[in-house]
Structure 1
């Protein structure tokens, strides 16, 4: 992340019409820099350390235009970025010229979504799980037993087992661990907590 941030800053700062005013290392530093410096555009990686993408985005987007960076090999991260609806979304692997063009367009209020990332998001498919199944899987992902989940949600153990069984079926998983993996890879669990 540090190397990506430094390289990104250097590339953008090299442009005659773009000035990098801050190089924040995490979500807290980003929020502080945006509030103090009022940049026209913030370039945010979907995996920026700190808070989740939705919190990061909404705090910054109220102050300036946002370009989010995501990895084409991470469909869940792409869907997470698209879910917050940034003005710009571009691949981390994009050539520098495409990134600088994106920043310029977003600075003028134009939307730029990398077509390769949009295709990646479409290929993932929609979330087939109900909100309760997501809630149960999310708790299970943290290592809770069926009895613990039942106690936390004030449900019977049988009801929790039914939700887990349904989640396994809906995701096409082999077992609960596989269902958690599939839901995590598609960023269904992270979006259910926002």
Structure 2
């Protein structure tokens, strides 16, 4: 419903044309490969692959297409990850429609567009301190999986998983792995 509403709002702009919509990250990458739009609007949380990975795919399949992240998940870690993946902008969904249209135009012209509040938070939050393995272990631990279960899924020893969990807990300043996962999710680090 929201995807359709955004498309309809953008179609009201005389200089903007919506050439396709998608319901998942991989579908978005496929639609971009078929239509080669100037700008692709992308969310962070989507079925199958997330918006960060989908942004990478879009940029690989259509290098001239610029990606503008439009999301409710205004987290500093997501901003950094999106920019690192090749996004040209990051705005929140509660912005007025005219601001979204302006953001599309600005990204199309080659400028970067970042929500100012999120940019400020990103400066003060710092970068994600977690290694890729620590992020993956925390993602799996977030839904209550045991160290043994995580070890089996990642083809690691339970000791290695516990070491990674311990390191992640220390890096985010948490008391336990549940709190570490929650804090890392809130900051957009996992």
Q: TM-score, normalised by structure 1?
A: 0.78
- State how 1:105-144 maps to structure 2 within 5 Å: 105-144=106-145
Q: Number of aligned pairs?
A: 186
Alpha-carbon shift at residue 77 of structure 1 (Å): 3.7
Distance 1:73 1:89 in 2: 9
State yes or no: 1:20 paired with 2:7: no
Alpha-carbon shift at residue 131 of structure 1 (Å): 4.7
Instruction: Give the aligned partner of residue 70 of structure 1.
Output: 71
Alpha-carbon shift at residue 57 of structure 1 (Å): 0.6
Structure 1: stretches of 5+ with no match in the other structure? 190-194
Instruction: Give the aligned partner of residue 85 of structure 1.
Output: 86
Distance 2:54 2:82 in 1: 11
Instruction: Give the aligned partner of residue 100 of structure 1.
Output: 101
Instruction: Give the aligned partner of residue 53 of structure 1.
Output: 51
1:80/1:70 CA distance change after superposition, 3 Å: farther
Per-residue deviation, residues 90-111 of structure 1 (Å, max 9, x unmatched):
2212222221112112222222
Q: CA RMSD in A?
A: 2.7
1:5 to 3, 6, 9: 3
State yes or no: 1:29 paired with 2:27: yes
> Larger Rg: 1 or 2?
1
Alpha-carbon shift at residue 84 of structure 1 (Å): 2.0
Is the CA contact 1:78–1:120 (under 8 Å) kept in the aligned structure 2? no
Distance 2:136 2:22 in 1: 33
Per-residue deviation, residues 111-142 of structure 1 (Å, max 9, x unmatched):
22222221233343333334554444344335
Alpha-carbon shift at residue 50 of structure 1 (Å): 2.9
Distance 1:149 1:31 in 2: 30
